[in-house]
Structure 1
Amino acid sequence: MVSLPNPLGTIDRVRREIDRNALRARNGIRMATGIQRTDVGLSPKDVVWESGRCQLWHYRSDQVSLGPPLLIIYSLFNRSYILDLRPGNSVIEHLLSAGFDVYMIDWGVPDERDAANQLEDYVDYFMPAAIRRVCELSGASEINLFGYCFGGVLSVLHTAHHPETPLRSLTVLTTPCDLREMGPMTEIMSRSDLEDVLGPDGMVPASVILQGFRTLAPMGEVTGRLDLWEKMWSDDYVTAYQAMTGWATDQVPLPGGVARQFKRMVDENAFVNDRIVLGGDRVRLADIQLPFLHVLGLRDHIVPVASAAPLVGLVGSEDKEEMRLDAGHVGLMVGRTAAKNTVPKIIEFLKKRSEALT
């Protein structure tokens, strides 16, 4: 016997799709006209130190129960609010809820005044000054350091170059080490025409950096827009989409001095070949001797596993761990993987190296 389709079920599906199309049209108009905006970076914070474009943020909390303080070092290539994207989807929020006293260095938007900056400016000046300020404000004698992406590079370089820094532990995420294994990013960073890329202000323009990241996932924007149309009826999805795409296109210029220096590091594969020099000093990762954690994503197309994996072997610490999670570069810090895997594992690592405050 042939079963006939339920006409009421078909009518319900048609009505639902009509309703969703109306919502798609409404949300599309709001996005196109700028009426619908998504606020980001909402966790309350105070600027407690600054120098040039660099600021040290202290996140407000009335539930600090663990010490020492945690200082986050962000990347130079884009904006730090990815770590505090939206309420309920915020690494900062999770760390505060766990009882940590959280600080973060935000590098701001550099301009021609920063064009000559080199890695030493960040590793040997900004970071030590910020660490001193954290210790001064908190009364702590040491801190936990946490670096994300290129912020991990800065954190590793600082820790190796400054063994006198009072650090309890070092955590880095998606941090490149074998610079010849970054896929298309290796080609981008080792371009022989770097000087032609620099703008008249001596900076690598934000548009060039954005285009470089887009070449790593050329279909990402297309598939993202297709997904948006399919789910544009959902206010929650549209809000999340706006927050993520807003951040993904919110690049900042890179100082030409840093770009030249990092190009040399890529050409020499400086970490793997032990050829890092800062301020005339040879810097060796083997000199890092404190508890160390590296979290990397198995689906990371910006810092592939082949680039990130050698780091833990080069660090000299006896107490060191590597965690490989099934996520991409940003997925480690945003969304379900971050909430269920990345952040809980980081919190577990840090709690073992912290003490309860009385």
Structure 2
Amino acid sequence: MESDRAVVTMEPTSASIVDRVRREVERTALRARNGIRMAAGLSRPEVGQTLKDVVWRHGRSELWRYRNDNVRVSPPLLIVFSLFSRSYILDLQPGNSFVERLLAAGFDVYLLDWGVPDERDAANRLEDYVDDYLPAAVERVRHIAGTEQINMLGYCFGSVLSLLYAAHHLDAPLRSLTVMTTPVDLQQLGPLTSVVGGGGLDVGNVLDADGNVPPQVIYQGFQVLKPTAQVTQYVDLWERLWSDDYVAAHQAMIGWATDHIPLPGGVARQLAEMTRDNAIVNDTLVVGGDRVHLADITVPFLTVLGNRDHIVPEASAAPLIDLIGSPDKHEVRLDGGHVGLLVGRTAAKTTIPTIIDFLIQRSETQE
């Protein structure tokens, strides 16, 4: 026999209604305050605050060593950043910093920042980075740390540079190689393919007076990938404009996303050729006049990609794992975007712990 169940509908009390109204009034006032501050440029957050020292320079490039009084993991970790944007996304804000987490885990962390190219860099080619800058930076890290080997981690196009370095220098002193959001199939980059010279674009038509691809061209290429992003961002921002923490994080992220740097013209021309030939996937890479093969990379290897990455889509990054020759190779696909793999909840809960665990298992640690 079924029992009768009384359904009780709770009406909001006068007190709860007053509380809601009061909270919304307070949030509206905070929205107005924060909106005025943003419009006036008065509340821009500081980024890249983790203490570091410049330990090597070459051209516009600098090698940074982050200060850590509690190094427990050896060998050191060298991060190779992209040529397209600024590296502070790795150290966005205190509490939301990839570098900060690595330091807390006991790593001796170095970062190779390429600086801002000018007319002196217009003729730079991939060989300048892969056969000159990177080997010199690696040797500097080894000298400072007093180790025979290093761990290397590349992000975005820094991953491509790391792969080319490892493939062209088979005696490189690498304990392991980790790459994130790596564009491998250059013909699967969507509209961004045109930025790297695909689709019949003549790179010479977009170079600036210095001979480089200007930042605004690169930025527009990224914008085309997700044309509704700005609308969505403004809707989300309005909903949480009352939160000082959210506004600061939003400004830091948006600031980085629009803060691109020139791409050396020589590299742009090479990328155009690589894209037309799909050289990485088709194993036709040439570096410094030598054929190089990713299959020759045999060090412990990890590749991380996001299934919601609109800058380096999953289809572009996915072929990499099968191209690497290492018997100790691993792929991690995460539910995140290009930047979400580095900052935010996915990064904090999954990406960073996964990378740290991979590195620690292939390193020596001290308690």
Matching residue of 1:236: 245
Matching residue of 2:190: 183
Deviations along 1:23-75, whole A, 9 cap, x unmatched? Answer: 11111111111221200001100000001110000000011011000000000
Q: Is the deviation greater in 245-254 or in 14-23? A: 14-23
Give the partner amino acid of 1:65: R
Which secondary structure does the structure 2 equivalent of 1:180 belong to?
helix
What count of residue pairs does the alignment treat as equivalent? 358
2:9 and 2:93 map into 1 onto residues whose CA distance is 51
Deviations along 1:105-127, whole A, 9 cap, x unmatched? Answer: 00011111101100001101000
For residue 278 of structure 1, report the CA deviation from its aligned partner.
1.0
Matching residue of 2:215: 206
2:326 and 2:342 map into 1 onto residues whose CA distance is 25
For residue 204 of structure 1, report the CA deviation from its aligned partner.
0.4
Deviations along 1:5-29, whole A, 9 cap, x unmatched? Answer: 5333222222211111111111111
- Is 1:270 aligned to residue 279 of structure 2? yes
Give the partner amino acid of 2:18: I
Please list, as runs of the form range in 1=range in 2, the aligned pairs for 1:92-131 lying within 5 A after superposition: 92-131=99-138
- Is 1:288 aligned to residue 297 of structure 2? yes
1:168 and 1:77 map into 2 onto residues whose CA distance is 27
For residue 3 of structure 1, report the CA deviation from its aligned partner.
6.9
In the alignment, structure 2 segments of 5+ residues that lack a partner are 1-7
Which secondary structure does the structure 2 equivalent of 1:76 belong to?
coil
Deviations along 1:143-167, whole A, 9 cap, x unmatched? Answer: 0000001000000000000011111
In the alignment, structure 1 segments of 5+ residues that lack a partner are none
Which secondary structure does the structure 2 equivalent of 1:267 belong to?
helix
- Percent same amino acid among aligned pairs? 63
Which secondary structure does the structure 2 equivalent of 1:86 belong to?
coil
1:37 and 1:3 map into 2 onto residues whose CA distance is 44
Name the Cα RMSD after superposition: 1.3
Which secondary structure does the structure 2 equivalent of 1:273 belong to?
coil
Q: 1:148 to 1:2 in 2, by over 3 A?
A: closer
Structure with max Cα Rg: 2
Matching residue of 2:321: 312
Matching residue of 2:48: 41
For residue 186 of structure 1, report the CA deviation from its aligned partner.
2.0
Please list, as runs of the form range in 1=range in 2, the aligned pairs for 1:11-22 lying within 5 A after superposition: 11-22=18-29
Which secondary structure does the structure 2 equivalent of 1:318 belong to?
coil
Please list, as runs of the form range in 1=range in 2, the aligned pairs for 1:131-280 lying within 5 A after superposition: 131-189=138-196, 190=198, 191-280=200-289
Which secondary structure does the structure 1 equivalent of 2:127 belong to?
helix
For residue 211 of structure 1, report the CA deviation from its aligned partner.
0.6
- Is 1:326 aligned to residue 335 of structure 2? yes
1:140 and 1:184 map into 2 onto residues whose CA distance is 43
Normalised by the length of structure 1, the TM-score is 0.98
2:37 and 2:311 map into 1 onto residues whose CA distance is 32
Q: 1:2 to 1:282 in 2, by over 3 A?
A: closer
Q: Is the deviation greater in 26-35 or in 333-342? A: 26-35
1:329 and 1:167 map into 2 onto residues whose CA distance is 26
